[in-house]
Amino acid sequence: MWAEENKEALETKATLTRRHFFGKNALGLGTASLASLLGQDSQVSNVAASEMLVQGGLHHTATAKHVIYLFMSGGPSHLDLWDYKPTLTEKFGEQLPDHIRDGQRVTGMTANQKDGFPLCPSKYKFTKHDNLSNGVWVSELLPHTAEVAKELCVVHSTFTEAINHDPAITYIQTGSQIPGRPSLGAWLSYGLGSMNEDLPHYVVMHAKTNFAEQSLFNRLWGTGFMSSDHQGILMRSQGDPVLYLSNPNGISREDRRRQLDTLAVLNSELHAQINNPEIVSRIKQHEMAFRMQASVPELTDLSQETAETFALYGEQVETPGSFAACCLQARRLVERGVRNIQIFHRGWDAHGRLPTEHESQCRDIDQASAALIKDLKRTGLLDKTLVVWGGEFGRTAYCQGNLTRETYGRDHHPRCFTTWMAGGGIKPGITYGQSDAYGYNLADEDGNPLIPQPTKETWTPGTMHIHDLNATILHLLGIDHRRLTYRYQGRDFRLTDVHGHVIQPILA
């Protein structure tokens, strides 16, 4: 056996690993023993929980099997897209009242503005669509999305505590403002497993944009402290759709199969020696990559799509990497059993040229977002696919920079912003929650501002903290967010930390 012939080398490797461990942890054998026990505890409990869910033991009946998350990175302005506020027009240029701000911390970009906090209305016309039970206002920037308003649940009362991009996007994606936690997609992969072993559990796409200001870090679709086989697979628009998908020149598929078989034997022998669970994850990833060499080219070949489908998504669908192309790929991934697809679209951080930037952004996403809803519905997939649209926060009611109707900007605003959801067990054609007359605070059913601001600790009717959003997503997929846990360093972690409430009023 290879292990016997290389026993000395393996023992040396294990020794080096122990030396490295003790060099980093000057607490002696007690630390080593505790780490070993915690590792065994973690491995047993996590595998048991994962198997329970994968084998069909969902916590309750699921209404969705897939999630497509359209993430508008940078913070789209709810006040210019969804949340119609005529009060801002009436009070154009006046200072935001102190009692409305209520001492809220603001970013350094507007904290010391010489003009203070002048109120700034949207320059765009809004139309009320009464096909919803209580009507929804939609900006002229989103004419195509307005066509599918009857399929949407528009939430005007999403809120978060984070006020800057990196902590805010990390928070909504992983449940913590501090990096290092598993992403939503990783939790779904861990809890639900795969419906198609030839494709990843979790696929991520970055759509092209004209305003790619913010970077996107792979921790946003990463696994944190979970095993790496739950991470999102980034699908690219140039070259190989997935990195290293093609074999090197001179290597046939049969050659690659033999290489992987040999590598699996070596990794299995090594795992038997040092019992590192990441070795098992590596074997799984190698096998997935091999299967993807056959499945991904078929997935990304759009030649079988009809002219009607291309017309539905618009001209941009034929541009690789466009938001429209990503949305069409998302529908194809759902058809093939991929559970979680996330499309990131950057460039919504409009501090100084909001009209110019948001108009460009909406041209990218408006028709494609509506087409995705229509396409899923006509193919019978919308009922089992949850579509989520939103960013990490909204924009302020007051102006940043030039106070004109053409060049105004808006700062970050976490206190209230708009998201929408559709399909997969969500009640269609409704709005949920509201903001106050300024679009600044969450409001009660009479429109009175909720001051002080509600918190994540206790659910306030009509509001949706980002933990509530994630709890509701998990619920629709058959998971109780309080019971899907992962033991790490002696603690049971979950996506919603120790918070989160399922928003029952929006469930079909």
Structural domain boundaries of the chain?
A: 58-506
pLDDT band at 40 (very low <50, low <70, confident <90, very high): very low
pLDDT band at 122 (very low <50, low <70, confident <90, very high): very high
pLDDT band at 6 (very low <50, low <70, confident <90, very high): low
- Cβ–Cβ contacts within 10 Å for residue 407, how many? 14
Which residues are registered as beta bridge partners of 158? 417, 464
- Cβ–Cβ contacts within 10 Å for residue 344, how many? 23
Dist CA 191 CA 377 (whole Å): 27
pLDDT at position 9: 47
Rounded mean pLDDT, 174-180: 97
Number of continuous H segments (helices) and E segments (strands) in the chain: 15, 15
pLDDT at position 116: 94
Spell out the residues 6+ positions from residue 462 whose beta carbon is closer than 8 angstroms to its own. Answer: 157, 432, 433, 434, 442, 443, 444, 445
DSSP 64-124: -SEEEEEEETT---HHHHT---HHHHHTTTPBPPHHHHTT----TTTTT-TT--BB---SS
pLDDT digit string, tens, across residues 201-257? 999 999 999 998 788 999 999 999 999 989 999 998 887 787 777 888 888 888 778
3-class secondary structure, 206 = strand
58-506 CATH fold: Alkaline Phosphatase, subunit A (3.40.720)
Give which of 471, 497, 438, 489 is closest to 35, Cα–Cα.
489
pLDDT at position 281: 79
pLDDT at position 282: 79
Strands 385-390 and 66-72: parallel
Please confirm whether the linkage preceding 452 is cis (ω < 30° from 0).
yes
**Cβ atoms of residues 6 and 266 within 8 Å:** no
pLDDT digit string, tens, across residues 332-357? 999 999 999 999 999 999 999 999 99
Quick one: residue 28, left, alpha or beta (phi over 0 = left, psi -120 to 50 = alpha)?
Answer: left
pLDDT digit string, tens, across residues 420-458? 999 999 999 999 999 999 999 999 999 999 999 999 999
Give which of 220, 244, 338, 230 is closest to 278, Cα–Cα.
230
> Does the structure show a pLDDT above 90 at 381?
yes
pLDDT band at 57 (very low <50, low <70, confident <90, very high): low
Rounded mean pLDDT, 289-307: 84
pLDDT at position 134: 67
Rounded mean pLDDT, 407-417: 96
Sign of CA pseudo-dihedral 248, 254, 255, 259: positive
**Cβ atoms of residues 429 and 380 within 8 Å:** no
pLDDT digit string, tens, across residues 389-405? 999 999 999 999 888 87
Rounded mean pLDDT, 35-43: 38
**Cβ atoms of residues 381 and 334 within 8 Å:** yes
pLDDT band at 46 (very low <50, low <70, confident <90, very high): low
Which residues are registered as beta bridge partners of 152? 422
> Does the structure show a pLDDT above 50 at 21?
no
> Does the structure show a pLDDT above 50 at 25?
no
pLDDT at position 31: 33
Which has more pLDDT, 382 or 30?
382
Q: What is the pTM of this model?
A: 0.86
Spell out the residues 6+ positions from residue 291 whose beta carbon is closer than 8 angstroms to its own. Answer: 197, 198, 199
pLDDT at position 258: 85
pLDDT digit string, tens, across residues 68-114? 999 999 999 999 999 999 999 999 999 999 999 999 999 999 999 99
Which residues are registered as beta bridge partners of 119? 398
pLDDT at position 53: 52
> Does the structure show a pLDDT above 90 at 324?
yes
pLDDT band at 4 (very low <50, low <70, confident <90, very high): low
pLDDT at position 262: 86
Q: What type of residue sits at position 343?
A: I
pLDDT at position 146: 96
pLDDT at position 13: 46
pLDDT band at 27 (very low <50, low <70, confident <90, very high): very low
pLDDT at position 266: 87
Residue 387 has φ and ψ, to the nearest 5°, of -110, 130
> Does the structure show a pLDDT above 80 at 10?
no
Which has more pLDDT, 285 or 48?
285
